[in-house]
């Protein structure tokens, strides 16, 4: 089978998966599209949103649809890195035993690792996760364990800040996307969510998603997509402009209310962040039936890939929720292509 037909077959599967998830978790189409992009670009995802809007259900549905071994852990203040690697207990004969923890239980077939309420865990746990996410391996029991298929989904709620640990910038940078999950806007969807019994039992709901079984081919697929989708010189120039604009937005004519633009940012996007952006952009071009990346692909993934990477000056920190989206929109509307 030649690569083009293979790519289009895979595309059909990906679109089918997206459709299924959209039927399971309704009213979150943009977020679902972003998650699908991240999965097929092999990037980790951080979800942020209010309580009870369907973050966990969404991730469970994605994990179910993709197939592959699945593990989850709840972030708590007393969770330690060792809890992810092993756990000790006394067996029925009263002998102490050491068993592999959630990260190691499935060995190298671990696919989806779901970290619930990640900001409740301590920085030590974040540090362990840094390596697992960036290098897809961890060190335990005196040797390295490769996790070639690991896909981390994490979520945190936006409401409470007590007893939480803000993710360090280094940990955030390893997530390809930070996706905001908001309440569905349309009344019809809200009515459906309230009264349709189908949405009351999440286990049955998630169980209804068919397992596409493509998970373990994702690495190969992602690589093929990255190689086949072309980027032109003009697109490179556009991406470079976007990158520079995240460092010095004022040079691109971005103006925000009541902000001294040169003092706004402490740091802009990292090289890793930009490579994630291009990967996500290529994946989007592929899903849109194209063999080349357009500026609109980058624009579509720019907010989710970049917002969590921009660090504001502490002076403007308290207006973060308002300024960051405005800044991202400002950059997108001021940088021209070609």
Partner 1 sequence: MRVPLIPVILVLSLLGCSRPIDEPVSYFNVETPRPFGYVNGDEIPRRIIIETRSGISLQPGSVPVKGQINRWLNLNQVSVKQSGRRYQIDLRYQVFYAPLEVKALTLPGFTLQLSQGEKNISQSVPAWTFTLSPLRELVVRQSEQGEYLRPDSPPSLSLLVNSHAVYGLAASLTIAALTALYLGYLYGCFPGLSRRTVFKRVLRKLAGLSKADMEQALTLVHQALNNLNGQPLFSNRLSEFYRRNPPYRQINSQLTWFFNYSNRYFFSDGMIVVQQDLQQLKDLCEQCRKIERGSR
**Which residues make up the interface to partner 1 (CB under 8 A)?**
230-232, 234-235, 290-296, 299, 333-338
- CB 197 → partner 1: shortest distance, Å? 39
- Give the Cα separation of 327 and 248 in Å (integer): 11
Of 108 and 241, the one with the shorter C-beta distance to partner 1 is 241
Q: CB 326 → partner 1: shortest distance, Å?
A: 14
- Distance of closest approach, residue 323 Cβ to partner 1, in angstroms: 19
30 CB-contact burial (10 Å; exposed 0-12 / middle 13-18 / buried 19+): middle
* 251 versus 272: smaller Cβ distance to partner 1: 251
CB 259 within 8 A of CB 316: yes
Pick the closer one to partner 1 by CB: 166 or 288. Answer: 288
Identity of the residue, 211 or 232, whose beta carbon is nearer to partner 1 in the bound complex: 232
Distances (CA, A) of 242 to 96, 220, 265, 301: 56, 29, 15, 12
Cα–Cα distance for residue pair 23/317, rounded to 1 Å:
38
Closest CB 284 distance from partner 1, rounded Å: 13
Give the separation between CA 88 and CA 82, rounded to whole angstroms.
10
Looking at residue 67, the DSSP 8-state letter turns out to be: -
* Nearer of residues 204 and 289 to partner 1, judged by Cβ: 289
Show the CA angle centred on residue 181, arms to residues 18 and 247, nearest 5°: 100
Considering the complex, what minimum distance in angstroms separates the CB of residue 337 from partner 1?
A: 7
Q: What is the DSSP letter of 207?
A: H
User: Which is closer to partner 1, CB of 160 or CB of 296?
Assistant: 296
Minimal distance, residue 181 CB to partner 1, in Å: 23
Assign residue 136 a region: left if phi > 0, alpha if psi is -120 to 50, beta otherwise? left
Give the C-alpha separation, 165 to 126, whole Å.
10
Tell the smallest beta-carbon distance from residue 278 to partner 1 (Å). Answer: 13
Which CB, 59 or 332, lies closer to partner 1?
Answer: 332
SS3 95: coil
Tell me whether residue 311 or residue 337 sits nearer to partner 1 (CB atom): 337
CB–CB of 251/244 below 8 Å?
yes
Quickly tell me which residue has 């929109």 as its tokens. 329
According to DSSP, the β-strands at 69-74 and 110-116 are parallel
| Contacts (Cβ under 8 Å, ≥6 apart) of 194 | none
Q: In sequence order, which residues have a C-beta less than 8 Å from that of residue 290 and are 6 or more positions away?
A: 229
Rounded least distance, CB 335 to partner 1, Å: 7
Looking at beta carbons only, is 232 or 322 nearer to partner 1?
232
Give the shortest CB-263-to-partner 1 separation in angstroms: 23
């Amino acid at each position: 089978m030649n690569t083009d037909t293979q790519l289009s077959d895979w595309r059909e599967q990906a679109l089918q998966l997206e459709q299924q998830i959209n039927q399971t978790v309704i009213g979150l189409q943009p977020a679902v599209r972003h998650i699908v992009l991240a999965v097929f670009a092999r990037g980790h995802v951080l979800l942020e949103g209010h309580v009870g809007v369907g973050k966990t259900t969404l991730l469970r549905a994605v994990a179910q649809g993709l197939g592959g071994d699945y593990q989850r852990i709840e972030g708590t203040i007393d969770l330690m890195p060792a809890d992810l690697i092993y756990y000790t207990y006394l067996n029925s004969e009263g002998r102490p035993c050491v068993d592999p923890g959630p990260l190691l239980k499935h060995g190298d077939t671990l696919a989806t690792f779901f970290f619930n309420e990640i900001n409740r865990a301590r920085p030590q746990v974040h540090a362990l996760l840094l390596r697992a996410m960036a290098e897809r391996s961890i060190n335990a029991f005196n040797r390295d364990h490769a996790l070639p298929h690991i896909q981390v989904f994490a979520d945190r709620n936006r409401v409470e800040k007590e007893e939480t640990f803000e993710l360090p910038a280094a940990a955030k940078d390893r997530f390809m996307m930070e996706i905001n999950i908001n309440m569905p806007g349309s009344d019809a969807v809200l009515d459906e969510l309230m009264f349709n019994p189908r949405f009351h039992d999440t286990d049955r709901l998630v169980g209804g998603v068919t397992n596409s079984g493509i998970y373990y081919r994702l690495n190969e697929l992602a690589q093929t997509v990255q190689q086949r989708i072309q980027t032109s010189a003009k697109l490179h120039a556009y991406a470079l402009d976007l990158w520079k604009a995240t460092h010095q937005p004022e040079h691109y004519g971005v103006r925000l209310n009541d902000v001294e633009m040169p003092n706004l940012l402490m740091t802009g996007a990292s090289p890793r962040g930009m490579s994630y952006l291009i990967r996500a952009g290529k994946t989007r071009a592929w899903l849109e039936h194209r063999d080349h990346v357009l500026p609109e692909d980058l624009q579509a993934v720019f907010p989710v890939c970049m917002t969590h990477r921009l660090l504001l000056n502490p002076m403007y920190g308290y207006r973060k929720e308002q300024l960051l989206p405005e800044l991202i929109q400002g950059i997108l509307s001021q940088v021209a292509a070609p």
